[in-house]
Amino acid sequence: MTVESLLIDTRFGAFAANDRDIVTLVNALPGFERCRRYVLLSARSLEPFTCLQGLDEPRPSFLTVDPRVVVPGYSLPLEDSDQRRLDLLPSDTPLWLAIVGLSADAASVNLRAPIVVNPRRMVGLQLLPATSAYSCDHRLPLD
């Protein structure tokens, strides 16, 4: 397999990645149906946040965080159908990414519809549970 180098623009600057860093969504994110390929970025100063950067137009850029860091004990059941779509085996440790929304003076996390990634296969999807105890805009403390 050839490894292609990609130059990627993000809200935090521009940098290079390889095609093996690409996470492909088996189902696109609602609102961004044409963007399937993303790269997950980290920086020490931003931890525990990561940046989920879309590679297909309109190249959306998301700030993400593991929901278990925001709410200790957070857990959402993974339906059998979702496990199959992600090809999750019992030995796999999926990655959980909740999308962070920023406004001028507030931040909130979408705990209701997290993105789950199977790092072994580099595939992911956003969970859309019909009912949930978690909200779409869980407030994050600023200071």
Contacts (CB under 8 A) with another protein, residues 95-114: 95-96, 99-102, 107, 110, 112-113
77 binds another protein (CB under 8 A): no
> What are the φ and ψ backbone dihedral angles of 63, each rounded to 5 degrees?
-90, 130
Q: Which helix (H) or strand (E) holds 25?
A: strand 22-25
Residues in binding contact with another protein, number by CB under 8 A: 74
Site string for another protein, 111-140 (x = CB under 8 A): -xx---x-x--x--xx-xxx-----xx--x
Q: Which CB atom, from 12 or from 78, has the smaller least distance to another protein?
A: 12
Minimum distance, C-beta of residue 6 to another protein, in the bound complex (Å): 10
One residue of 9, 75, 87, 139 binding another protein per CB under 8 A: 9
The pair of three-digit structure tokens given for residue 45, joined into one six-digit string: 């100063």
Alpha carbon separation from 125 to 12, 13, 69, 77, 100 (Å, rounded): 24, 26, 20, 14, 16
The pair of three-digit structure tokens given for residue 68, joined into one six-digit string: 């278990």
Q: Which helix (H) or strand (E) holds 65?
A: strand 61-65
Minimum distance, C-beta of residue 39 to another protein, in the bound complex (Å): 6
Site string for another protein, 15-54 (x = CB under 8 A): xxx--xx-x--xx-xxxx------xxxxxxxxxxxxx--x
83 binds another protein (CB under 8 A): no
CA atoms of 17 and 7, how far apart (whole Å): 7
